[in-house]
Amino acid sequence: MRIIQSPVTLAELRQIAAHGFGNMVKAVVDVEKKIMAIDAELHADEEAYLLEQGSLQADLWGINLYPDEQEENFIEFDSMINLRPSQDNRSRSVQDPALQKKIVAIVTQLVTK
């Protein structure tokens, strides 16, 4: 597991996926610090790691990255850690379109071709 603060390449994500889920990399994005944790079996493990590093629970959102997909299929907003009734997010998805845009912007900065 590692924290991504500077860009990682799609080739690196493909390698991580190949050693894990095959075509997907789980990630947790800190929308305030503009970083993400990757390379764990569970979003909850990445979430815990970021919390240990000083992130706030309310800022962490779980996603899945598909390095071989393009555009809207590259990021999937699906994780158990996203179930947050207290933040008006009542599903595994990230329901707020503005928050989704923020996550996409962060991932776009942290993942290069």
Question: Mean pLDDT, to the nearest integer, of 10-17?
Answer: 97
DSSP state of 76: E
Strand 25-30 vs strand 2-4: parallel, antiparallel, or unpaired? unpaired
pLDDT at 113 over 90: no
CB within 8 Å of 84: residues ≥ 6 apart: 58, 90
pTM: predicted TM-score of the whole model, two decimal places: 0.96
Neighbours of 110 (CB within 10 A): 18
pLDDT (tens digit per residue) in 22-65? 999 999 999 999 999 999 999 999 999 999 999 999 999 999 99
pLDDT at 91 over 90: yes
